[in-house]
Every structure is written in structure tokens, then in C-alpha cells.
Amino acid sequence: MVEQLAGGILVDWFSNVLGWLMLALLAFKVFVFIDAAFRREDAYRAVDKQTKPFWLIVLGLAVAVSIFSVPGLGQMLSLIGLVAAIVYMVDVRPRIRAISPQRRGKGRLGGKKDDRSNMGPYGPW
């Protein structure tokens, strides 16, 4: 009786951990899809990493497969989508960010841009 109760608790705990892990992986895939959607289309061609529509279709399918569980091949397709998202994050995104201009926010002095040429480790000097 105690062994069955302990086994049931462990199964419930593992099921909860697995559910949270799947939710985290879905959030990762959604983040990657949104990041790919907001990048410039010409940047994909400049770094020679397929095209923006290609990545949006692949990552969109990865998100869709994760949201709508398909019996049978669903878990395999979800794993393939995860691999595609990881490839985008590790290979494509850093190259696109390297050639894209960095956005700078407004400075601290009345909406002017910060001049970083006279910045010390603790602020301007």
C-alpha cells in the first residue's frame, strides 16, 4: 500500500515536471518565431541562411505542432521543431544580429543620444 502511494506520488511529480518542461519548450519556440518575424528580410539573404519565409514556415510549424498535439508522429515532429528552433538561435540569429544595426534608446539627458566616448566604469566623466 505504501509502495503504491509512493509510486503514485512519483508519477504525479514526474508528470508535473514534464508538463512544465513542455510549456517552457513551447515558450522557447514562440520566442524564436517572434524573433524571426521581427528580423529584416534582407538580413537573411545577406548571411546566406535560407530566407525569412522559410524560417517563419519552419518555426511556425514547430509552434503549431507543439500547441496542437498530433497523435503518433506528434512528439517526433515536436522534437524536429525544437531542433530547428535551436539551429535558428545558435546559428542564424547571431549572424543576423551581427550585421543588423543596433537600436539605441534615448539618452539620460533630455532625449539626446548618449555619447559613450567619455563613459567610465561608473558613468560619464
CA quadruple 45, 50, 53, 58: dihedral sign: negative
pLDDT at 117 over 80: no
Q: What is the mean pLDDT of residues 45-50?
A: 90
pLDDT at 6 over 70: no
Cell of 67: 500547441
DSSP reduced 3-state for 112: coil
Q: What is the pLDDT of residue 103?
A: 67
Query: What is the distance between the terminal CA atoms of the chain, rounded to a whole angstrom?
Result: 72
Give 11's pLDDT tier (boundaries 50, 70, 90).
confident
pTM of the entire predicted model: 0.72
